[in-house]
């Protein structure tokens, strides 16, 4: 058995998803609304979800660890979210005011309390919009034109940061001074020239580049945990904070993945480091589209219409659905539920229980895999090497991990091939048991592949 056999078997077992994909690819480019959603031979089509479970067109059930890329921290259709939505219909009577309403202030107050680095906030509709707006605020404030980002870090699909997210390692320059490589066709050269790429967790190299480029650099943006699971060293993080202050560079944490998932206060609470600006998204909307920029008053105030009478002195920010009551109600219900005593801790404990179970089974079946992560996110890596940044991931055996993913799907566990695992409040003992049984069967089959 090899990977292509597994993929063929996967396809043969899902005739309804196959037929759907045949139709979809004629009218939706590539059959998917997002390139990351595709995998071979076709992605599974789901038509129903409940709690921790996904159901596909062919009638198979899966314990869901994709959870809409981590957004559903309570799982699918959680009662507190359902109730919050009903309340919006009953009390507000609309899905969007396009104007100020009281829930905006309620959410702002919750966030300022949970994230001490926030003096002020602004809502957007996605993580992409949040990182873009945070960068614009930094450029306006500093009057500088360049941005530094880390190799392998994703900040949404906009031109300035769709750079060196997933570059080919052997043609991307030295590890200590990576080239800026476009991740898409259609990125104007301007953005490659104005985006400096840094090696994550390599302090000496970062210090050198940032110091050399300080006069051009408006901001450094990073995922404090690369891809949500590769942690920055504590010392690296505090050194970065200190150097940015010294050099007059704005530090932006992109906590779209890590917000509410590492701790409720995000990776910044875990590290005890305050960035100047933060981008949030995903969990914040309780399953509905949202994004947010939060941070220091002297930065956010630049977008205030009270800042100046002259509109050319103000950073522009707008969005039809910004702060809509549906996303805010679902998000508020999620956050308030998780703030109840013991709720978040219990979720982290269940995540550890699952990870311990997976690791014990990997050992039992001699599969060279381990789990990596903090809080409610983890990934499964097929390497014994220490993974501290994007280039280290070259040591991971993607072929083995991919084979595991196809076996897991056949045994009723879904994270999407090569994706990280996110937990939800709906993942209880029954789901953990079902998941570990699926891992046991999958590792038993994988054990034969490892020796090939
Ligand atoms: C760290 C990070 N930043 C930004 C984004 C973009 O968010 P959105 O997909 O809501 O535009 C993502 C999405 O996965 C993300 O993981």
pLDDT in tens, 120-149: 999 999 999 999 999 999 999 999 999 999
Most ligand 1 atoms within 8 A of CB, residue of 70, 155, 379 to mutate: 155
Q: Give the integer Cα–Cα distance in Å for 390 and 119.
A: 33
Report which of 175, 177, 150 is spatially closest to residue 165, judged by C-alpha positions. 150
The whole-angstrom separation of Cα 250 and Cα 139 is 9
**Ligand 1 atom at shortest distance from the alpha carbon of 281:** 10
C-alpha pair distances (Å), 4 with each of 99, 224, 299, 402, 431: 53, 36, 52, 10, 29
Euclidean distance between the first and final Cα of the chain, in Å? 9
Distance 158 CA to ligand 1 centre (A): 10
Residue 117 DSSP class: T
CA of 15 to the centre of ligand 1 (A): 32
Atom 9 of ligand 1, nearest CA residue: 127
DSSP label of 232? P
pLDDT given for residue 436 in this prediction: 98
What Cα–Cα distance (Å) separates residue 238 from each residue in 38, 115, 187, 198, 245?
A: 38, 18, 33, 16, 11
pLDDT of residue 1: 65
Give distance in angstroms: CA of 163 to centre of ligand 1: 14
The residue whose C-alpha atom lies closest to atom 13 belonging to ligand 1 is: 156
Would you please indicate which residues are annotated as catalytic (active-site) residues?
A: 154, 254, 282
Give the contacts of 395 (CB within 8 A, at least 6 positions apart). Answer: 383, 385, 387
The rounded Å distance from CA 260 to ligand 1 centre is 14
Ligand 1, atom 3: nearest CA belongs to which residue?
155
Q: What is the pLDDT of residue 274?
A: 98
**Residues in contact with ligand 1 (CB, 6 Å cut-off):** 69, 126-128, 131, 154-156, 223, 254, 256-257, 281, 291
What is the phi-psi region of residue 126: left when phi exceeds 0, alpha when psi lies from -120 to 50, beta otherwise? beta
User: Domains of the chain by range and CATH?
Assistant: 3-77+343-450 (3.90.1150.10), 79-339 (3.40.640.10)
Q: Which residues of 316-350 are buried (b: 16+ CB within 10 A; e: fewer)?
A: ebebebbbbbbbbbbbbbbbebbeeeeebeebbeb
Q: How far, in Å, from the CA of 360 to the mean position of ligand 1?
A: 32
Give every CB contact of residue 97 below 8 A, 6+ residues apart in sequence.
Answer: 324, 325
Query: 131 CA to middle of ligand 1, Å?
Result: 9
What does the alpha-carbon distance between residue 341 and residue 407 come to, in Å, rounded to a whole number?
Answer: 38
Atom of ligand 1 nearest to the CA of 291: 10
CA–CA separation, 74 and 66 (whole Å): 13
Per-residue pLDDT of the chain (452 residues; tens, 9 = 90+): 689 999 999 999 999 999 999 999 999 999 999 999 999 999 999 999 999 999 999 999 999 999 999 999 999 999 999 999 999 999 999 999 999 999 999 999 999 999 999 999 999 999 999 999 999 999 999 999 999 999 999 999 999 999 999 999 999 999 999 999 999 999 999 999 999 999 999 999 999 999 999 999 999 999 999 999 999 999 999 999 999 999 999 999 999 999 999 999 999 999 999 999 999 999 999 999 999 999 999 999 999 999 988 989 999 999 999 999 999 999 999 999 999 999 999 999 999 999 999 999 999 999 999 999 999 999 999 999 999 999 999 999 999 999 999 999 999 999 999 999 999 999 999 999 999 999 999 999 998 776 54
Contacts (Cβ under 8 Å, ≥6 apart) of 28: none
Which of 124, 282, 390 is the best mutation target for the ligand 1 pocket, counting ligand atoms within 8 Å of the beta carbon and taking the most?
282
pLDDT tens for 68-124 read 999 999 999 999 999 999 999 999 999 999 999 999 999 999 999 999 999 999 999
d(CA 162, CA 183): 5
User: Mutation test of ligand 1: which of 281, 377, 419 has the most ligand atoms closer than 8 Å to its C-beta?
Assistant: 281
């Amino acid at each position: 058995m090899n990977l292509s056999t597994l993929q063929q078997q996967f396809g043969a077992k899902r005739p309804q998803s196959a037929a759907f994909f045949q139709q979809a690819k004629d009218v939706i480019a590539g059959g998917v609304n997002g390139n990351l959603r595709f995998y071979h031979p076709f992605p599974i089509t789901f038509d129903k979800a409940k709690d921790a479970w996904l159901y596909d067109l062919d009638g198979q059930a899966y314990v869901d660890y994709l959870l809409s890329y981590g957004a559903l921290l309570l799982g699918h259709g959680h009662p507190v979210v359902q109730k919050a939505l009903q309340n919006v219909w009953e009390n507000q009577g609309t899905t969007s005011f396009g104007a100020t309403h009281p829930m905006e202030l309620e959410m702002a107050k919750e966030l300022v309390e949970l994230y001490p680095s926030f003096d002020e906030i602004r809502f957007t509709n996605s993580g992409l919009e949040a990182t873009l707006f945070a960068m614009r605020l930094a450029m306006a404030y500093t009057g500088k034109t360049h941005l530094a980002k880390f190799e392998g870090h994703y900040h949404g699909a906009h031109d300035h940061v769709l750079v060196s997210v997933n570059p080919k390692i052997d043609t991307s320059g030295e590890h200590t001074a990576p080239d800026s490589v476009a991740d898409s066709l259609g990125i104007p050269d301007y953005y490659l020239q104005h985006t400096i790429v840094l090696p994550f967790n390599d302090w000496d190299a970062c210090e050198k580049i940032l110091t050399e480029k300080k006069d051009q650099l408006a901001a450094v943006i990073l995922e404090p945990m690369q891809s949500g699971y590769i942690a920055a060293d504590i010392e690296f993080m505090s050194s970065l904070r200190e150097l940015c202050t010294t050099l007059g560079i704005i530090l932006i944490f992109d906590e779209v993945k890590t917000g509410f998932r590492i701790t409720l206060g995000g990776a910044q609470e875990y590290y005890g480091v305050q960035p100047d600006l933060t981008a949030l998204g995903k969990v914040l909307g309780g399953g509905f589209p949202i994004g947010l920029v939060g941070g220091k008053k002297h930065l956010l105030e630049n977008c205030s219409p009270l800042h100046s009478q002259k509109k050319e002195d103000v950073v522009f920010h707008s969005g039809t659905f910004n702060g809509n009551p549906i996303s805010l109600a679902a998000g508020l219900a999620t956050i308030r539920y998780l703030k109840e005593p013991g709720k978040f801790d219990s979720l982290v404990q269940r995540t550890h229980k699952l990870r311990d179970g997976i690791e014990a089974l990997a050992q039992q079946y001699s599969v060279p895999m381990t789990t990596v992560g903090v809080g409610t996110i983890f990934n499964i890596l097929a390497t014994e090497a220490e993974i501290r940044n994007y280039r280290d991931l070259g040591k991971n055996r993607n072929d083995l991990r991919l084979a595991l993913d196809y076996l897991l799907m056949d045994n009723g566990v879904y994270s999407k091939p090569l994706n990280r695992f996110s937990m939800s409040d709906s993942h209880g003992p029954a789901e953990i048991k079902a998941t570990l049984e699926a891992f046991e069967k999958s590792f038993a089959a994988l054990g034969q592949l490892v020796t090939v």
